[in-house]
Structure 1
């Protein structure tokens, strides 16, 4: 379904128990991500909760009217809440979606009852690790100029964004399945302008450490240990 939020057509889906408390899910990877992954992962919660999934402005099937700032994205989440929910929400964000989840609860503290964070952070202090790990991987398809443009938010086209994102997939996969990765790469809605703005302007100044104490609602933080999972699967094989 589509709904106009702050002058932008937003794609969203509602799943689960219509009488349950509402959880909003905020996807990561602006310009690459959308709500389909969250729907697949969290739909079982629908037995108890009302689940709201959305493609953020400039990602997936949503319209891409700028700006792609954290202020605008959190205002879009609030606009969606006002249209769909008569009251406060639980909110879950993963990766870059966790950045926006933290920003949202800090900007709209009265409208959140619980915060759930998955594989995310409150600052960009370790941002260079992704580039270093990619360059040290010796994976085919990774070349320094392209990977630095990717993480600096300077990709030149959707085609380049797709090529570079495909090249680093083994770094984000516990058990690499070439066909499954190929299908995923082909299914993505590539929006390089959104990706570029998020990485070139938003991430470089992202740091909420000094404000975390202001979050007063129950907060759950989960992190997946990819190294441990790879070691475990290596021992099994």
Structure 2
């Protein structure tokens, strides 16, 4: 795996003037390697540190572009924070990176953003990697709350969890309390209870809580998210990943995604929770590497015809 610990951070301006915090792992000046854009989850909380851990190992074969979504990390917290805008941001970054087609990867909420992009701009994708998602926002959110509240591994405040997953949080502190009280369920059960606090890739690094972004994502976007009837139109080779012990986005959701996308493969990690890249890193990398190799995705290097934005 290439060492990209010193890869430079760029501030890339979107068409509406918003600046996004962007990093490219495995950059080469001649763009001989194809582009892979990897999206993080947990809007208003997670950062590019998550996709760096999940997909950075591919930087010897791809230019791996990771970024803080608007409203997260060091990117501007200027809206809108809706599917149209997040899709446009991906398009801006694709053009900035001078790629006509690319591989798109997304985990957790990033999987929802990736699915939105895939049904709108499927012709731009030569591959799609989805980790921990579902097909219907309302059903998925309610299922997550139910699974969390019936879990014996945590004892969260029920009303606060409803606020978290319905996008009706009172404040940034309310957001922080809601996440911190359920952190153990994002990892698989361990033999020793002292190991039950392992850190999911979604929550790596310094956590900064922006409840406004979470409320928009789950209070406005999720109720309208339903891609069941559009999955059949996604033609890109697709890899769907999920942990057997994922309470937030259970196996049933990923199975529905894989069943709906014609050219897809489902991989269930039996010893993982919400984040296989953290729980079973070697196996996770093996599965993703095999998919990339078999589909020939790292051999393609199409470039954009237009100017970068």
Q: Same fold (TM over 0.5)?
A: yes
Superposition pairs of residues 43-58 of structure 1, within 5 angstroms: 43-58=56-71
Question: What SS does structure 1 have at the residue aligned with 2:133?
Answer: coil
Matching residue of 2:151: 137
Question: Is residue 147 from structure 1 mapped to residue 161 from structure 2 by the alignment?
Answer: yes
CA deviation string 1:179-232 (max 9, x = no partner): 765xx587112111100000001111210111111112211212221274279x
Write the distance in 2 (CA, Å) between the matches of 1:179 and 1:140: 11
Pair 120,151 (structure 1): closer, same or farther in 2 beyond 3 Å: same
Counterpart pick for 1:214 among 228, 233, 237: 233
Which of residues 266, 271, 287 in structure 2 aligns to 1:229?
A: 271
My pick for the range that moved more, 117-126 or 44-53, is 117-126
Residue segments in structure 2 that go unaligned for 5+ positions in a row: 1-9, 247-269, 274-278, 280-309
Please say if 1:10 is aligned against 2:20: yes
| Structure having the larger proportion of residues in helix | 1
Q: Does 1:107 align with 2:120?
A: yes
CA separation of 1:86 and 1:172: change in aligned 2, threshold 3 A: closer
Report the aligned-residue RMSD. Answer: 2.4
Aligned length: 231
CA distance in 1, matches of 2:272, 2:94: 39
- On the 8 A contact 1:58/1:65 being kept in 2, the answer is yes
Note closer, same or farther for the CA distance 1:185–1:161 as it changes in structure 2 (3 Å cut): farther
- Equivalent residue in structure 1 for 2:136, among 96, 116, 123: 123
Cα offsets for 1:36-81 (capped at 9, x unmatched): 0110222111111110001111112111111111111011110111
User: SS of 2:106's equivalent?
Assistant: strand
Note the 1:59-208 alignment, pairs <5 A: 59-124=72-137, 125-137=139-151, 142-174=156-188, 175=190, 177=195, 181=199, 187-208=206-227
For 1:220 and 1:179, the matched residues in 2 are separated by 28
Moved more, 106-115 or 72-81: 106-115
Instruction: Tell me, in whole angstroms, the C-alpha distance in 2 between the residues paired with 1:138 and 1:146.
Output: 17
SS in 2 for 1:126: helix
Name the CA distance, whole Å, in 1 between partners of 2:219 and 2:174: 16
Distance 1:72 1:92, change over 3 A: same
Whether contact under 8 Å (1:17, 1:47) holds in the other structure is no
Q: Is the 8 A contact 2:134 2:140 kept in 1?
A: no
Gaps of at least 5 residues in structure 1 are none
Q: What is the TM-score with the length of structure 2 in the denominator? A: 0.69
Separation (CA, whole Å) in 2 of partners of 1:140 and 1:93 = 27
Q: Is the deviation greater in 87-96 or in 128-137?
A: 128-137
User: Retained in 1: the 8 A contact 2:46–2:204?
Assistant: no
